[in-house]
Structure 1
Amino acid sequence: MSFQSILGNFSLILFVLTMVTGVIWFLDMFILGKQRRLNADKALADFDQRNAKLSAEGIRLQEGGRVELEFNLLKQPAWIEYSGSFFPVIAMVFFLRSFLYEPFKIPSSSMLPTLYVGDLILVNKFTYGIRLPIINKKVLSLNDPQRGDVMVFKYPENPSLDYIKRVVGVPGDKIVYRNKRLTVNGQEVVYETLPDFLDEERLSYSNQFSESLSGVKHRILNDVQMPAFVRDPHQFPKRELCTYDDAGFACTVPEAQYFMMGDNRDNSLDSRYWGFVPDQNIVGKAFFIWMNFSSPKRIGSFQ
């Protein structure tokens, strides 16, 4: 399942706005503001000198004229005032979504029944390490993705797109998926049959199971009408590590890469089709639904 962050490349937009407003704020704080103060002091000195002369000549002066003059001389131009007001807000948002938490919206059903269309989720950006914004380069390693994590990453075939899937294979794993059952390193994943799931968008039922993947218990869906084999897998890098047959496939996950699958197994374009996700493509770990305007009761954490 693919989805894009708000306003497309919002990180780049925020970065540009932060830099522009920050430069204007800096210039006003340390150069333009001081220049206005110097010009105001000179104008006020002339004002005081002129008023002293008029007062000595017995001319009565209007009260408050000096205060109004000083206010007008020191007043920031509108473009500087707005830039200075927006800079700390924009900078804070840029910092939060670049290094701490980033919001995303789910537009498709490939992660059902875990995530629904319209779910607004939060992604932890620092769980797997600190990365530079825009270029997504890791500068500090913390934790590695684990099997069962719901992870957001840059789509390998088009890094401008953000995808979300579940990690089913970490580097070195042997992943086998045949007859719609998953085996990791020769050990069959434990499944428990649940009541059928109604997809309200498609108005159809799917077989529902509880899957325990390295201790992470979550639900998955299977469509009995869909075949077990992978239809037309792409020519992705390291494809020689995968074999396909009528019952499914088997892949060995290469170093520093991950194998991803959607929970809606028969309605998800994932690593079975387009291959492995390199570590440099990782965005973060999805962990919380903060709103779904069609179903507010969905707010909460998930596995």
Structure 2
Amino acid sequence: MKRRNFLQLTGAAAVATYGLSAAARPPAPTGVNAYRQARRFADLPCGRIAYVERGTGGAALFLHGAPLNGFQWRGALDRLAPYRRCIAPDFMGLGYSEIPERQSVAPAAQVAMLASLLDALHVGQVDIVASDSGGAVAQMFLVRYPARVRTMLLTDCDTEPDSPPPMIKPVLDMANAGTLANDTAKWLTDKNLARATFGAAVYHDPAILTDDVIEYYVTPMVSTPLRRRQYHEFHKALAPNSLAGIEAALKRSTVPVRMVWGAADRIFPVADAAYLDRTFARSLGVRQVPEGKLFFQEEFPDVIAEEARRLWRVG
């Protein structure tokens, strides 16, 4: 029987809506330069994997969305490093990870990469915090390595019935046509274009995409012909549905799972969170972020930190 700590709505998924509380004295935010200086690399069989690590104690693994990298979680790392050894890798094909030409960047290969990374860092179990396509990888990691996951905090992300979501079909079409990298590279010379298109679609306030943030996200993915091909391959690998058939295994999971969802997200609607709430046997319900779009985690890191601490029972 599921544990319910939040309101029941019409006998279906527990979906609670809370205000956007903030810590009285939030830490000074980590900027691009500080994050860049903190970046490390792990030499693994699949390549040279970029990651940032902060804090000590039990490990927490932060999985970003596309076309972002681990920098997406900088605010959460600022707030959660006192409680966990926070590890934020860059997925293969995105960010600053460097992999050979024939290395797969499909979700299953990302799962294997994460397991290899945790082995290299001498990490057994983790609390997973995930977003977007990283949420699909998180679910696959849970099924493949159930003993390695203590808890899971999922934000707007793929579900088996909604992967890939219809709203990203134009992006996948550009990847298949080989034009996505060129279109993305335009953001480096026209930052306002990035904010008006991509930014407006996935952030409540696109101004969070400052010029240096855009450069940090975009530059590595379009830096060489190989990286552009890998950027395309990452998106091409999102279809067909990598989560097909996973529901039964998720229903058997005994891992506590909490969903935190942007209520203004048009890509992954709140119905996807409700589906996950019904599916996980130990779901702890859904918190809606009223103004949140797909990448609200960057804008409202206090919400992520608050929910993670509750889930981890710390602080």
Class of the TM-score when normalised by the shorter of the 2 chains: under 0.3
Q: Select the structure that is richer in strand.
A: 1
Choose between structure 1 and 2 for higher RCO, CA contacts under 8 A separated by at least 6 residues: 2
**TM-score, normalised via structure 1 length:** 0.23
**TM-score, normalised via structure 2 length:** 0.22
